[in-house]
Structures are given as structure tokens and as C-alpha cells.
Structure 1
Amino acid sequence: MKLKPEEIDELVVEAERIIESRRQHLKGGETGRTQMSNAIDAAQQTRSFAMFLNWLRYQMARKESQEFWGAKDSANRTLGEQVADYVKKRLQPEGELGMEKLVLLLGFMRRALVALEYLDRIPPQTRQGGS
């Protein structure tokens, strides 16, 4: 099923918001990029919300990836918790289409993470001045 442009825009905005909200605690380094790539792979390969959430819990518990998935926003929610909440509330009810959206969301999050130091130069969609 093909996504409408406004559905894709919503995912871009959400991805940028998630990353922007914890920019002080995230590093765009190798661990973060690797974890986001692994998350994309997990979502693409499993095509199952239950399996993806299982993978996410495992990553949050691992010492090597705990710092990344445990990065908190101003509401004290970890990155892993926020992704899991979004999956359960917004994407899971959409079934197969929700899985497609999850893969896109994670990809947009990875892009925002890689561009973390440039978010001030080209403001994300979540800030005033973004279009």
C-alpha cells in the first residue's frame, strides 16, 4: 500500500521530534548509527510488532546499547520507551501498513541522528521556522 505524502511527513516530523527532544543525551556516533540501522533491520526482517518490541527490550537491557536506547527526554522517557509507545499506540493498530511506517520512522530517526549537529542550521520540522 502506498503512503500519502502527508503520512510520510508525519513520520518525518515525529522522527525529528523524538531525536531533537533528547539531543543533549544522544551522540550521533557509531553506536547510535549502528543501533538505528539494527532497529531498521529488525523491523524489516521480522515484520512483526511483537518480535520488534522483543528486540527493542533486549537492546535496552544490553550494556552495549543501554546508553543509546536509555537516552531520556525532558519528560524522563527513554528513547526505547518512546519508540515502543509510538509503535503500540499509533502503528500496531494499522497492521502491515504500520510495519511499513515503522521502517520509515526508524530510517528518518537515523537520518536525524546522523544530522544531529546540523539541526540548528536547517531547523527540524518540529521547530518554528521549519516548514
Structure 2
Amino acid sequence: MSQKNKAILEEANAAVAEGNYEEFLSFCAEDMEWTFVGDRTLKGKEAVRQYMATTYIEPPKFTVDNLIAEGEFLMVLGDITLTDEDGKAVHHSYCDVWRFRGGKIVELKAFVIKTEV
């Protein structure tokens, strides 16, 4: 299961990097929940769709430094660069903990810290 979930997340991340957010969402359960620790929680696929539409003005650029799988969970460490509404690149480091159910993404707990490059 761990290897299958890794493959799913890698394919889903590739879709995000290409700006294909609907393809990413096809890997997600309708009742998914995204928690940005210390910030907000998005409940349901539609809330994530709206978040992506407003936050990912341009497809984010991200790297994955480590991808660790255990059962239904994947932990990912890396860096992500988002474009803000002024067109400025904003850099972050992140640790994402993804949970899967039946081959679908059902939960994300994201620990994101703004960093300087």
C-alpha cells in the first residue's frame, strides 16, 4: 500500500506542477480535509478547489527532499514557491502528512514556514 500511495501522490503532485488542478483533485476523496496547522482547515474537495484557484495564481514550484511512507500515511519534506497577487515569488519550507483511504487522498496536515532564499 505504501508504494501505491507514493505513486499516487507523485502523479498528483505532477498535475499540480503543470497547473492541472482538476487532475490533482481526481486523486482526492470528496470528504477530504486539508489542515494548514496554525492557519485554517479546508473541508471537502470543493473547498480545496477554491483554495487552489485563488492561491495557486501560477502553478507552484516545489521540491520533495524526503518522502516517507508508513501504512496509509505519507510524510513529505520539501520546499515550495508560490506567486503572490503582486507577482512576487514567496518561498516556504514544508512538512506535509498525507493520509490515504482506498487509493484516494483523504487528509493533509501541512506545516508550512515562510523562508528566505
The reply to whether TM is greater than 0.5 is no
Point out the structure with the larger helix share.
1
TM-score, normalised by the number of residues in structure 1: 0.31
Q: Which has the higher strand share?
A: 2
Larger relative contact order, structure 1 or 2 (CA cutoff 8 Å, min sep 6): 1
